[in-house]
Amino acid sequence: MPEVYNWQLGRKMLYPYEERHPKWQFAFVFNINRCLACQTCSMADKSTWLFSKGQEYMWWNNVETKPYGGYPQFYDVKITQLIEQVNPGGQVWNVRVGRKHHAPYGVFEGMTIFDAGAKVGQAAIGYIPTDQEWRFVNIYEDTATSMRALVEGIDKTGFSRDEPWKMTGSSLPEHETFFFYLQRICNHCTYPGCLAACPRKAIYKRPEDGIVLIDQNRCRGYKKCVEQCPFKKPMYRGTTRVSEKCIACYPRIEGKDPLTGGEPMETRCMAACVGKIRMQSLVRIGEDGLWAEDRWHPLYYAIRVEQVALPLYPQWGTEPNGYYIPPRHSPRGYARQMFGPGVDNAIEKYLVPSRELLAVLQLWRASQQIIFRYDVIPGPKVFETQIHGKRFEMYNDTVLGFNKSGKEVARIQVEEPIYIRPAERVTWL
């Protein structure tokens, strides 16, 4: 099997196809800390693409409550267990190698779904969820857990037995329970498990934007994609006997929606987000297959410069292109097993943001058009305090967002403007 370079793992890994990269890559950052689980994103997606017969159980976008929830139920626990059965040695990160451009989180020394798959004669390790597991899109909604139950649960399920991953206590001694919302769509992975698995070669990654699609004419419903996508994002439709998955609203990305006059537009689920937790863009891929340096691109800045947003389950090896600002109130061990060793740095950056990060974060949901570049106009200092023993200064800077053609599409100040209602409109006077 060929070897490909996975920068999220800081090493090469097995993959059934030779390394090949698109010119641009669809990518997004979700800020977990802001989500209110209103499910507006899920409904926007459902009402656009998934309202027909045979699609009743399908949610390309779902928001699940962690740690108990999952759609399909238990998908992440089961994938982790399957890998650990093949590789009982544990899933370990060597973080001593330092932060380099090609290995920003250290080197992963465990097995990916492809490494484990090779051991059992499959493209990737996986399983097909039962009908029962697909039943609820947000099972255990808002269900909190205690640290004790979670630690015991983790030991029982075999989740991350390796020492650096063990949780030894709660970071919230005052109250030990927690939950948070995890927003999920297809990650349009660099090394998709679904694409690797399909015996019909019905799945392809578009060279222009890295969007991963199932060719509906080639697909014969073998369901290997359902089995070997660890995120469980391809879904089988019984009425047509083919599988379907998130298409990244590609007509909008291509600028086909008349609203933006030919300019690339964010997907439906992103544009609908009430909590302003989502930003999506396209990032440029360099000759070496890594993200080309693009200092004034908001996603490049958040993911590669500040490293405040991290991939979901990078250890599975698909190099997902969905990134998350991790939850600040969950136990660190739990967050680390989901987002890798960059969690402590990311939360620290988020808790006490730099002047530039605070400005850039205002761009989340500032425009329906895709933002490719930002700029910051300095403003006056308006506030200062200490957060966790660190000095924090707030400036009322103005952040600008530009679309693909370089036209300004967003202009926002860090400080929320205050509007005073004119006296004649104040009804209680």
Is residue 240 at the binding interface for ligand F3S, with CB under 6 A as the rule?
no
Which listed range, 36-44, 148-156, 198-206, 354-362, lies at the site for ligand F3S (CB under 6 A)?
Answer: 198-206
Distance CA 396, CA 390 (A): 20
Output the smallest distance, CB 241 to ligand F3S, in A: 9
150 touches 185 (CB < 8 A): no
Token pair in block for residue 270:
């992103």
- Complex with ligand F3S: residue 12 or 220, whichever CB lies closer: 220
Output the smallest distance, CB 197 to ligand F3S, in A: 6
Q: What is the DSSP letter of 305?
A: I
381 touches 394 (CB < 8 A): yes
Q: Which helix (H) or strand (E) holds 31?
A: strand 24-31
Among ligand SF4, ligand F3S, none, partner that 220 touches (CB below 5 to 8 angstroms by kind): ligand F3S
Q: What is the largest distance, in Å, between two alpha-carbon atoms of the chain?
A: 77
Sole binder of ligand F3S in the list 27, 41, 186, 203 (CB under 6 A)? 203
Beta-bridged to residue 285, according to DSSP, are 291
Residue window 206-235: x/- pattern of binding to ligand F3S, with contact defined by CB under 6 A: --------x----xxxxxxx----------
- Complex with ligand SF4: residue 269 or 409, whichever CB lies closer: 269
Token pair in block for residue 294:
């693009």
311 touches 340 (CB < 8 A): yes
- Complex with ligand SF4: residue 285 or 394, whichever CB lies closer: 285
Output the smallest distance, CB 37 to ligand SF4, in A: 5
Count how many residues are written for the chain. Answer: 429
Among ligand SF4, ligand F3S, none, partner that 214 touches (CB below 5 to 8 angstroms by kind): ligand F3S
Among ligand F3S, ligand SF4, none, partner that 221 touches (CB below 5 to 8 angstroms by kind): ligand F3S
Among ligand SF4, ligand F3S, none, partner that 198 touches (CB below 5 to 8 angstroms by kind): ligand F3S
Residue 427 CB neighbours (<10 A) = 6
324 touches 30 (CB < 8 A): yes
Token pair in block for residue 293:
């340096």
Output the smallest distance, CB 416 to ligand F3S, in A: 47
Among ligand SF4, ligand F3S, none, partner that 196 touches (CB below 5 to 8 angstroms by kind): none
Phi (first) and psi of residue 279, to 5 degrees: -135, 135
Which listed range, 40-48, 115-123, 142-150, 200-208, lies at the site for ligand F3S (CB under 6 A)?
Answer: 200-208
Output the smallest distance, CB 200 to ligand F3S, in A: 4
Among ligand F3S, ligand SF4, none, partner that 200 touches (CB below 5 to 8 angstroms by kind): ligand F3S
Among ligand SF4, ligand F3S, none, partner that 202 touches (CB below 5 to 8 angstroms by kind): ligand F3S
Burial of 92 (0-12, 13-18, 19+ CB in 10 A): middle
Q: Which of 24, 73, 38 is nearest to 291 (CA)?
A: 24
Output the smallest distance, CB 246 to ligand SF4, in A: 7
Total residues contacting ligand F3S (rule CB under 6 A)? 15
Output the smallest distance, CB 354 to ligand SF4, in A: 25
What are the residues binding ligand SF4 (CB under 6 A)? 35-41, 63, 183, 186-189, 192-194, 212, 229, 231, 233-234, 245, 272-275, 277-278, 318
Q: 329-365 burial string, b = 16+ CB within 10 Å, else e?
A: ebbbbbbbbbbbbbbebbbebbebbebbbbbbbbbbb
Output the smallest distance, CB 390 to ligand SF4, in A: 28
Token pair in block for residue 101:
């451009």
Q: What is the DSSP string of 335-401?
A: HHHHH-TTHHHHHHHHHS--HHHHHHGGGTTS-SBPP-EEEEE---EEEEEEETTEEEEEE--EEEE
Among ligand SF4, ligand F3S, none, partner that 63 touches (CB below 5 to 8 angstroms by kind): ligand SF4
Is residue 202 at the binding interface for ligand F3S, with CB under 6 A as the rule?
yes
The dihedral of CA 408, 412, 413, 414: what is its sign? Answer: negative
Is residue 32 at the binding interface for ligand F3S, with CB under 6 A as the rule?
no
Name the residues that contact ligand F3S, by CB under 6 A. Answer: 197-198, 200, 202-203, 214, 219-225, 242-243
